[in-house]
Amino acid sequence: MSFCADAPFRGSEAVARSVLTRSRLRGPGFRRLFPDVYVPVGLEMDHVTWCRAALLYVCPAAISGPSAAALFGVTDMTGTPIEVTVSPARRVQPLNLLVVRSRLTDSDLRQVSGLMVTTPERTVFDLARRLGRDDAVVAIDAMLHRHLTTADDCAAYALDNFTLPGSRRVIAVLHLVDKRSASPMESRLRLVFVDAGLPRPESQVDVRDATGGLIAWLDFAYRDWRIGIEYDGDHHRDRSTFRRDIARMNALAALGWTIIRVTADDIRNPANLIAQLTALIARVRP
């Protein structure tokens, strides 16, 4: 790779091409990220730039796992090591990288922003088998919601690669994902219901009046029992949003809906929420 003022570069190549001298390279104008990999001081070090630097240091390799998901635009990797996958025989000094040794075929790879990255299906496979369950579901929900892949395609990939470690766990995680999940907190709230043994609610439910007019979109609902669950994030604290929510709740109540409002605290400590929802279902369930 040629020296560039706004991208990582190999120091040895810059020196060999007489673009820089060794003394200048070691001076205050450049920052060493990895052995022989430098950037100009002052260059914004976003996730893509860190990935470019990592692949200069570890080549051949592919950006994988959460780092690949971030390149697909679904996770925030600020402050976390870049993950790269190399062949099982490679020996690489990690140096602030998460180095994974695993077999990759050409069909497992694609170019994103000019970088070699695992495909969405392989990325989901790696997320599901290596992240904690909740974090994996959150990331995979986001990938499905953005139509980067489908749950069926990911399940087929897992079955085709059942000899790789963790493939059974991937199938278990895929049973929990939902492409309709619109936010990480909605994904986590759905898992709260699953872990409590409650019936799995429908996500992103439209409620309409007798003429077919839209009354509301609910984050979750048990449509047959007219129970809705709404996650209230910070955006609900805006005055105009609050007023619209009141009107919407009144319209839902007039149609016989009971709405449970949920906050982040309820997700962190769900006992009261689960007790409330369990009691409500018991009252209305046939």
Q: Report which residue type is found at 241.
A: T
E strand segments, the chain: 9-10, 30-34, 37-40, 62-63, 82-86, 97-101, 109-112, 115-118, 202-208, 214-222, 227-231, 258-262
pLDDT at 4: 62
Q: Tell me if 166 sits within 8 A of 189, measured CB to CB.
A: no
Question: Domains of the chain: which residue ranges?
Answer: 46-174, 184-284
Q: Which residues have CB under 8 Å from 121's CB, separation 6+?
A: 149, 153, 154, 157
pLDDT at 1: 44
Taking alpha carbons only, the member of 79, 78, 81, 68 closest to residue 143 is 68
Rounded to two decimals, the pTM is 0.89
Instruction: State how far the alpha carbon of 210 is from the alpha carbons of 30, 52, 188, 220, 254, in Å.
Output: 67, 56, 33, 21, 12
CATH label, 184-284, candidates 3.40.960.10, 3.40.1160.10, 3.20.20.120, 3.40.50.720? 3.40.960.10
pLDDT < 50 regions, the chain:
1
pLDDT at 239: 57
